Amino acid sequence: MKFASSPLLSQLLPAWRSRLVAVVLLGAFATLGGRSLYLQVVRNDFLQQKGESRYSRVIELSATRGRIADRQGDVLAVSTPVKSLWAIPEDARLTPTQARELAALLEMDVRELNRKLAAEHEFVFIKRQIPPDTAAKVAALNLPGIHQQNEYRRYYPAGEVAAHMLGFTGVDDNGQEGIELAFDGQLAGKPGSRRVIKDRLGRIVEDVESIKAPQEGRDIVLALDSKIQYLAYTHLRQAMAENKAKAGGVVVLDAKTGEVLALSNLPAYNPNNRVKLTGAQLRNRALTDVFEPGSTMKPFTIALALEKGRFRFDSTIQTAPGRLTIGNATIHDAHMHGLLTVAQVIQKSSNVGAAKIAATLAPEEMWQMFDALGFGHPLKLGFPGEAGGRLRPFKTWRPIEQATMSYGHGISVSLMQLARAYLAFARDGDLVPLSLAKVDTPPLAGKSVFSAQTAREVRAMLEMAVQPGGTAPKAQIPGYRVAGKTGTAHKLEGGGYTDRYVSSFVGFAPASDPRLIVAVMIDEPSGGKYYGGEVAAPVFAQVMSGSLRTLGVAPDAPLKPLQVAQDGTRPASIPVVRESM
C-alpha cells in the first residue's frame, strides 16, 4: 500500500485547532513586536542607561583649595597635586611577588595590603595622597584592578612656626583646625564632574563631556606677619627652655586696626607630618586655655575707679601693714609698701591697694566693665574651641571675691581676650573687633569702655611699671617708651590653689602713640623663677623690639642704657621690687 493512500491521511483535523495555532503564533509575534516597540521607543532612556552603565562613568573633578598668604603675600598654605590609590578587590588578583612590590613602593606592610585587597567591598582605598613620582612607579607595574585618582595635599611652608594659627586640613582637604577651619567655606571651593568612557579595567579611553566645571577655592590674605610670627615663636621657645615651662603663648595685635599679627603656642606640631600628633600639641592655648590673669587685671579696676571719680591719679592709699583681712580671709602683698598713690599701686603691684580701691565700687559696676571688655564670653573669631573664660554673675559675689577679682583671682580669661582688653589703654579708651584677615581700611573708632582721659592716665601708670621701682624693668626696649603690666597667679586645681604658677605680661609700645600690643603667658615655669616680671617680661621685650623694627615704627625715646644688666640680673642701683601675687 502506498503511503499516499494511507487511511490516516483521509481523516481531516478539526478546523479550530488550526485557527488556535494561528492565533497563538500571531499573538506571540504581536507581543514581541509590542515589547520591542515599548523598549526601543517608550523605554529608550532605560535601555540607554543600562548600556552606558557598562562603560560610561561620571568622575568627580576636585577643586583646588585656595591659598593662604600673610599680609606681605608670602604663601603659608598651598595645595599640591597628589595621587590616591584605590582598587576593586574582586579584580585585584595580585601574585605574592606583585603584592610585595606594591607594598614596598607604598611603604606599607604587605599583610595590611593583602587585608585591604581581600575586603568584601566594591571599592577600597589602598593609600591616600601619595607623591606623583611614587604613583608613576605604581602605574608602571600595570597591576590588575589597581587604579589611581587625582587629589590634592595641603603643604605648609612655615611648618610648626605658624601651626596653631593656620591649623590643617584632613585627608579629604577639608579644614580641621585654625584658619583652615575658620575660613573653610571660602577656601574649599566646589568640585565639578565629567562624563568619561572606561574599559573593563577601569581605564579612561574617551573623555565625553563636561557636566559641571569645578569652582576653585578663594585665596585668603591674613593679617599675620610671617616675620613677627617667627619672632614670637622663636623667643617663646627660648623662654620655655630657659624656664623649663610646661606651655606658653604669645599674641601680637595691631593697636590701630585690631589685626592679629602673630599667634604662637608651645608645645607645637608640624602640620606637614601629623603622624605622632598629641592633644597637648594641638591645643591653641591662646584661645582655648583660660587662666587667672593675676595682676594684669589691676589696671582695669583702677581705670573704673578713675572713671567713676572715686580716685585720682595721685590719690593716696595706705597699704600698710601689707595685708588686709576681709571676713575670714586675708589678702597679702609680697612686700609692705606703706602709703602709695593710685599710680604706685600699679607700679608696685599692690594687692592690698587694688582691693581697697575695688571696695569703693559696686559689684555691678565691676561686672559691667569686665563684660564690656569681652571677658566671660568668646570673641567669636571662628577658631574651634574658643573659650569665653569665667565671669560669675555679680549678684553672687562676696566681698572677698570682689576684692580678689580686682587683682585677677576668681576670674579666668584667655590670652587673646586679655590682649584685646588692653586695646582700651593702647587706644583712647575704645575697643575695636579683632581680625584674622588683613584689614584694608582701619576702623576709625570702636566701642567705648573708658574715656580718653582715663585711658591716658592708666597708660602713664603702666609706663611706671616698667621703670626703676616697678615690677617689670626687664620689659624695657632701647629707644622706645614701653607700658605694660605683669601678672603672677597660683594655678587653681581641684578647688584649691597649688604651688604652680602662670606668669604673664601684657604691654604696648611706643607708649606715646601705641602701635603694637604683645601678650605673653608662660605656664608652670620651673627653672627657679616664676614672677611675670622675670619670666614673661623679657619675652615681651624681645618680641616687641623686633616687631617694631620690622614694621619700621619710629623710636619715641632717646637711646640710653637699659636699667637691667645684660646677664638678666638687676644692678645694685635698682631696688629689687617683687610683684604681688
> pLDDT per residue over 417-443, tens digit each?
999 999 999 999 999 999 999 998 888
- Coil vs helix vs strand at 465: helix
Q: What is the pLDDT of residues 519-562, one digit of tens each?
A: 999 999 999 999 999 999 999 999 999 999 999 999 988 877 65
Confidence of residue 569 (pLDDT cuts 50, 70, 90): very low
Is 491:214 a contact under the CB 8 Å cutoff? no
Q: Which listed CATH number (3.30.300.30, 3.40.50.720, 3.90.1310.10, 2.30.110.10) goes with 56-91+147-222?
A: 3.90.1310.10
Rounded Cα distance, 448 and 431, in Å: 6
Is residue 253 within 8 A of residue 379, CB to CB? The reply is no
From 295, 350, 406, 504, the catalytic residue: 295
Closest Cα to residue 302, out of 461, 531, 428? 461
Instruction: Return mean pLDDT, the chain.
Output: 86
Residue 475 has pLDDT above 50, yes or no: yes
Residue 572: which pLDDT band, with cuts at 50, 70 and 90?
A: very low
Q: Is 36 one of the catalytic residues?
A: no
Question: Which are the contacts of 470, defined by CB distance < 8 A and separation ≥ 6?
Answer: 347, 348, 464, 577
Report how far residue 488's alpha carbon sits from residue 407's, in angstroms, rounded to the nearest whole number. 10
Asked if the 226-273+281-551 domain carries CATH number 3.30.450.20, the reply is no
User: For position 39, what pLDDT does the model report?
Assistant: 67
Grid coordinates in use for 487? Answer: 601678672
pLDDT at 198: 60
Q: State the cell numbers at 30.
A: 504581536
- The neighbouring-strand residues paired with 169 are 175
> Residue 356: CA atoms inside 13 Å, Cβ hemisphere, count?
22
> To the nearest whole percent, how much of the chain has pLDDT over 90?
57
- The pLDDT of residue 564 is above 60: no
Which residues neighbour 321 within 8 Å (Cβ) at sequence distance 6 or greater?
Answer: 336
* Gap between the Cα atoms of 305 and 394, Å rounded: 17
What does the alpha-carbon distance between residue 202 and residue 219 come to, in Å, rounded to a whole number? 35
Query: Scanning the structure block, which residue is given the C-alpha cell 572606561?
Result: 198
In 68-191, at which residue ranges do the beta strands (DSSP E only) sit?
68-69, 75-87, 124-130, 146-155
Query: Where are the domains positioned within the chain?
Result: 56-91+147-222, 226-273+281-551
All cell numbers assigned to 470: 616697678
- Provide the whole-model pTM: 0.81
| Three cell numbers written together for 204 | 579612561
CB contact at 8 A, 298 and 358: no
pLDDT of 50 > 80? The answer is: no
Residue 455 has pLDDT above 90, yes or no: yes
Q: pLDDT tens-digit profile of 6-23?
A: 665 555 667 677 777 778
pLDDT for 573: 35
The pLDDT of residue 405 is: 95
What's the pLDDT score for residue 571?
A: 39
The 8-class DSSP code of residue 411 comes to -
Rounded to whole angstroms, the Cα distance separating 462 from 432 reads 21
User: 165-201 pLDDT, tens per residue?
Assistant: 999 998 778 889 999 999 998 998 787 766 656 655 5
Cα separation, 173 vs 145, whole angstroms: 26
Share of the chain above pLDDT 70, in %: 86
Which runs of E-coded beta strand occur in 279-373?
Answer: 316-318, 323-326, 329-332, 339-341
